[in-house]
């Protein structure tokens, strides 16, 4: 978010939520769209080759973003980054499962691409060849289930565009918005049918989707990651603070943030944001651990891909919804507002309190969404099966 703000022209900084959400969704759309494909790739292709390729794509995309001379180029760079990022996410777990027993697996984070690339090239050896490695090129292409990707990616694209337009550029009843939702529903139904038709060769087999531990982890991860990202979107200057602190009371802390007003002190912002950060952070790895414990080794990569998909799809959808709530509330209070710079330059000193109050109400109304998401995480928490990390399902 902070890098994106630095790429925005001054006149677009502040309240131009469409630009921010577009850039955010471009990254998350590609991440979740390619998650299942990479999970399948790691099951029958060399883990080293796939992971190194993902790192190369990631590093090249960082260069694209760093040298972007325009906002569209930067958004394109972020989309390419998400492609490499999706491969790295799936690859980190694929590598970890091979080199460490479950009860010794650390919380691994590889933000420095060059270090991980060198480690993969010189230190990692592929596991012994399995039946999947004996597949012909045609069979491997078929295993990637490209038809599902051709259905799934346009389906998500239609959904994100609809959520970005509805209530802002067009009304909810506009035929363009309704048409996009119909396209999303039809393509999603076709994707689900295709998963059923392909069986175990599908991008995400039905026996993975039907596993209630995977479902529980998906619900928990989607809601948890959405909360922190919505707060990051709304509090771009303070997002790092609540990622550091800890708490186990997400609904309570999300509710406390509804009390924000223009006179809230920095100490309160740090305290509440800190509680929100630990709420998600203290349990962030729980879903991945549950899947590694409760699924067979052959299914771990695909199970984790569902969790990682929830980690990306949640913020992509709910940030767009948060934008709609924020803009609708703001536009109901103020007219002809295109950016924070315009507000500060056009209003008089006497109007400033009124404008700031309208912005504050828009933000706090948006955070009711985080309260709802926080409450929903209890569904995943209660459904997931309890088991020690020392135990592993064969």
Mean pLDDT (whole number) for 91-110: 66
Report yes or no: 365 and 329 within 8 Å, Cβ to Cβ.
Answer: yes
pLDDT reported for residue 63: 87
Mean pLDDT (whole number) for 266-292: 74
What are the sequence ranges of the domains in the chain?
Answer: 34-140, 145-202, 211-394
Percentage of residues of the chain with pLDDT beyond 70: 73
0.75 exceeded by pTM: no
pLDDT reported for residue 180: 92
Q: For 187-200, what is each residue's pLDDT tens digit?
A: 999 988 888 887 77
Mean pLDDT (whole number) for 337-350: 58
Look up tokens 């001379």; give the residue: 69
Q: For 244-267, what is each residue's pLDDT tens digit?
A: 343 457 888 888 888 887 777 888
Confidence of residue 394 (pLDDT cuts 50, 70, 90): very low
Measured CA distances, 208 to 97, 111, 320 (Å):
18, 29, 28
Residue 104 has pLDDT above 70, yes or no: no
Confidence of residue 11 (pLDDT cuts 50, 70, 90): very low
pLDDT reported for residue 133: 59
Percentage of residues of the chain with pLDDT beyond 90: 3
Mean pLDDT (whole number) for 223-252: 59
Residue 238 has pLDDT above 50, yes or no: no
Mean pLDDT (whole number) for 259-278: 79
Gap between the Cα atoms of 180 and 155, Å rounded: 9
Task: Identify the residue with better confidence: 152 or 294.
Answer: 152
Longest dimension (CA), the chain: 75
Query: For the chain, what is the mean pLDDT?
Result: 75
Mean pLDDT (whole number) for 331-346: 61
Mean pLDDT (whole number) for 193-211: 81
Mean pLDDT (whole number) for 288-314: 77
Query: Which fold is adopted by the domain 211-394?
Result: Growth Hormone; Chain: A; (1.20.1250)
Mean pLDDT (whole number) for 363-383: 83
Report yes or no: 13 and 340 within 8 Å, Cβ to Cβ.
Answer: yes
């Amino acid at each position: 978010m902070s890098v994106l703000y630095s790429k925005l022209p001054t006149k677009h900084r502040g309240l131009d939520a469409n630009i921010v959400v577009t850039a955010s969704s471009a990254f998350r759309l590609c991440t979740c769209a390619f998650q299942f494909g990479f999970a399948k790739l790691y099951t029958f292709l060399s883990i080293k080759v796939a992971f190194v390729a993902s790192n190369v794509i990631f590093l090249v995309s960082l260069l694209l973003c760093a040298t972007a001379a325009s906002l569209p180029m930067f958004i394109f760079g972020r989309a390419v980054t998400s492609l490499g990022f999706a491969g790295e996410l799936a690859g980190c777990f694929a590598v970890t499962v091979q080199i460490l027993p479950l009860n010794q697996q650390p919380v691994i984070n590889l933000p420095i691409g060059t270090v991980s690339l060198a480690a993969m090239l010189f230190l990692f050896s592929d596991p012994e060849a399995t039946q999947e490695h004996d597949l012909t090129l045609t069979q491997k292409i078929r295993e990637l289930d490209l038809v599902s990707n051709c259905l799934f990616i346009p389906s998500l694209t239609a959904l994100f565009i609809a959520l970005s337009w509805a209530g802002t550029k067009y009304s909810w009843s506009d035929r363009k918005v309704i048409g996009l939702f119909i396209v999303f529903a039809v393509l999603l139904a076709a994707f689900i049918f295709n998963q059923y038709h392909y069986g175990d060769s599908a991008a995400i087999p039905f026996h993975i989707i039907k596993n209630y531990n995977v479902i529980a982890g998906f619900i928990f991860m989607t809601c948890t990651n959405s909360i922190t990202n919505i707060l990051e979107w709304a509090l771009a200057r303070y997002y790092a603070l609540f990622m550091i602190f800890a708490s186990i009371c997400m609904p309570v802390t999300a509710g406390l943030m509804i009390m924000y007003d223009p006179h809230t002190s920095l100490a309160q912002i740090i305290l509440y944001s800190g509680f929100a950060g630990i709420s998600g952070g203290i349990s962030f790895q729980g879903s991945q651990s549950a899947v590694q414990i409760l699924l067979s080794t052959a299914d771990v990569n695909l199970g984790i891909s569902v969790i990682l998909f929830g980690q990306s799809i949640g913020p992509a959808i709910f940030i767009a919804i948060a934008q709609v709530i924020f803009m609708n509330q703001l536009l109901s209070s103020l007219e002809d507002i295109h950016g924070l710079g315009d507000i500060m330059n056009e209003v008089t000193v006497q109007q400033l309190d009124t404008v700031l109050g309208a912005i504050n109400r828009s933000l706090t109304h948006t955070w009711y969404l985080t309260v709802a998401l926080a409450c929903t995480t209890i569904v995943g928490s209660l459904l997931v099966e309890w088991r020690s990390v020392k135990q592993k399902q064969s």
